[in-house]
């Protein structure tokens, strides 16, 4: 339970950081126009971490569902199975059916903002991310794009060195470099978009 909490705490640090205004709305608009308008994105992820001082890369895999208005279901399968559900007012971690941790916005004011950052990242809301980061990048070919984000504020800089996103109609890859050097690469695969959640998924959001 505590370790999961730590995952969230890392996001907490994101909040101790923060946003400003998009400097280059034209680029963001161009990227945003290439992204799917579908509300639901499903897929699998592979997360590879390269930790400072450790030779062996650490790989975790799982699947995810994003519903742009409801939230994110992040289901890690290996090596540690667990589900994280991020909704507007709450962040809930489950180990099977057992609730490991519930953070509610009405108890911890930061939770609302946490959801916001996570939403922005997973729901590919580039202009929302751009509030927290300086950005640069370009469109690639007819459908691709690449954006690189650097935290604008000292607090965020202590946690994140940089955030790089690549994709086309969806985000395909996230490269997150920790302020101290640990690197995390998340690749998304088997991505499918849809207008609606399945009944089962909907139930998990309720």
Partner 1 sequence: MNSPNSSNELRYARCHRALAWGWLCVLALLAAMLFAHVLPWRGQIDTDLLALLPVDERNPHAEAALKTMTQRGERELALLLVAPDAATAERAAHRVREVLHDAPLIAQAPQAQIEAMRDLYFPYRAGFITEQDMRWIAETNQEAQAERALSLAYQLFTGSALNWRDDPFGFFGNWMMRLGEASPARPYGDILMVQKADRHYAVLLYQLTDSAFSSDLQTRLAADLQAVRNDLAERFPDVEMLRAGVVLFAAAAAEQARFEMSLIGSGALLGCLLLVWAIFRNFRALRLILLSLAAGALAGVSLTWLIFDRIHALTLVFGASLIGVAVDYGVLTLAQHLDGSGARERWLRFRRLLPPLALVLIAPALAYLGLLLMPFPGLRQMACFAVSGIIGAWLTVMLWYPYLLPSSLPTTPLAARLMQMLQHWPRWRGTPAQWLVAALAAIVIGAGMLQLKTNDDVRSLVNTDPELLREQVDVAVALELPSPAQLFLITAATPEEVLRHEEALLAKLSPFFADGKLSGYDAISRWLPSEQRQQEAREAQRKLTNARAMLAEEFELSADWVAVSHTASLTAGEWLESPAAASLRYLWQGERDGRYSSIVLLKGLRDADTARQLATLSGANVQWVDKTADVSMLMGHYRTLLSSVLIAAYLLVPLVLLPFFRRRTWRVIMPSLLATLGTLAIMGHVGIPLQLLNVLTLLLVFGMGIDYGLFLVAQKSDARAFLAICVAALLTLAAFGLLAASSTPALRTIGLTTALGIGLAWLFTPLFRLPEPEGSILSDLDTQANRSSYTELKATD
- The residues that touch partner 1, with contacts defined as CB under 8 A, are 2-10, 12-13, 15-21, 47, 49, 51-56, 58, 60, 76, 79-80, 109-110, 112-113, 131, 152-155, 157-160, 176, 178-182, 184, 186
Residue 38 or 108: the one with the smaller Cβ distance to partner 1 is 108
- Smallest separation (angstroms) from partner 1 to the CB of 183: 9
| Closest C-alpha among 106, 74, 105 to residue 205 | 74
Residue 112 or 139: the one with the smaller Cβ distance to partner 1 is 112
Residue 19 or 34: the one with the smaller Cβ distance to partner 1 is 19
- Smallest separation (angstroms) from partner 1 to the CB of 96: 15
- Smallest separation (angstroms) from partner 1 to the CB of 193: 23
| Closest C-alpha among 1, 3, 5, 202 to residue 111 | 5
- Smallest separation (angstroms) from partner 1 to the CB of 120: 13
Peptide bond just before 56 cis, omega within 30 deg:
no
- Smallest separation (angstroms) from partner 1 to the CB of 33: 21
Burial of 151 (0-12, 13-18, 19+ CB in 10 A): buried
Q: Work out whether strand 183-194 and strand 171-178 pair parallel, antiparallel, or are unpaired.
A: antiparallel
Is residue 21 within 8 Å of 131, Cβ to Cβ?
yes
- Smallest separation (angstroms) from partner 1 to the CB of 199: 29
Residue 8 or 31: the one with the smaller Cβ distance to partner 1 is 8
Residue 91 or 197: the one with the smaller Cβ distance to partner 1 is 91
Is residue 145 within 8 Å of 34, Cβ to Cβ?
yes
What distance in Å separates the CA atoms of residue 138 and residue 30, rounded to the nearest whole number? Answer: 9
Residue 54 or 140: the one with the smaller Cβ distance to partner 1 is 54
What distance in Å separates the CA atoms of residue 119 and residue 88, rounded to the nearest whole number? Answer: 9
């Amino acid at each position: 339970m505590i370790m999961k909490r730590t995952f969230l705490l890392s996001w907490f640090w994101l909040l101790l950081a923060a946003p400003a205004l998009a400097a280059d709305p034209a680029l963001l608009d161009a990227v945003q126009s290439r992204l799917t308008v579908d509300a639901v994105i499903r897929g699998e992820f592979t997360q590879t971490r390269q930790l400072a001082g450790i030779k062996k890369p650490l790989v975790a895999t799982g699947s995810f569902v994003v519903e742009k208005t409801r939230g994110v279901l992040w289901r890690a399968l290996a090596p540690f199975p667990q589900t994280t559900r991020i909704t507007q007012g709450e962040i809930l971690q489950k180990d099977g059916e057992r609730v490991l941790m519930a953070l509610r916005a009405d108890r911890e004011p930061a939770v609302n903002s946490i959801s916001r950052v996570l939403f922005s990242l997973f729901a590919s809301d580039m202009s929302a991310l751009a509030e927290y980061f300086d950005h640069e990048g370009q469109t690639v070919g007819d459908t691709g794009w690449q954006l690189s984000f650097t935290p604008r504020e000292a607090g965020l800089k202590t946690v994140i060195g940089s955030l790089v996103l690549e994709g086309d109609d969806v985000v395909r890859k996230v490269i997150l470099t920790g302020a101290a050097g640990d690197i995390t690469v998340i690749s998304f695969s088997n991505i499918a978009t849809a207008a609606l959640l399945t009944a089962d998924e909907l139930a998990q959001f309720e």
